[in-house]
């Protein structure tokens, strides 16, 4: 067997190994992509519900501001009256 024939054999084996490696890599990447797509779809499915809950929370927080202000006024009034009674 000549050196040239040996180089051709090694080149064919290297090409075969590279092709198999590329095919396996494509399978792995495809599986990872499929898993990622599935998880992303799940997130995108629940995102509108989360946004709706956030909006409701902010709305309720806005509704509570006048109540908090009223409560602060009442507490200050009571503190003033208690000081007057103690003094």
Rounded CA-CA distance 69/64 in Å is 9
User: Could you read off the pLDDT of 8-60 as tens digits, one per residue?
Assistant: 999 999 999 999 999 999 999 999 999 999 999 999 999 889 988 888 888 88
Q: Report yes or no on whether pTM surpasses 0.75.
A: no
DSSP state string for 1-66: --HHHHHHHHHHHHHHHHHHHHHHHHHHHHHHHHHHHHHHHHHHHHHHHHHHHHHHHHHHHHHHHH
C-alpha span between 87 and 73 (Å, rounded): 21
Largest CA distance in the chain: 115
Tokens of 13: 């084996």
């Amino acid at each position: 067997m000549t050196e040239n024939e040996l180089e051709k054999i090694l080149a064919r084996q290297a090409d075969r190994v590279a092709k198999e490696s590329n095919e396996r890599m494509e399978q792995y990447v495809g599986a990872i992509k499929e898993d990622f797509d599935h998880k992303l779809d799940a997130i995108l499915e629940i995102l509108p519900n989360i946004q709706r809950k956030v909006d409701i929370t902010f709305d309720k927080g806005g509704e509570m501001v006048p109540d908090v202000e009223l409560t602060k006024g009442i507490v200050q009034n009571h503190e003033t009256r208690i000081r007057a009674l103690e003094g």
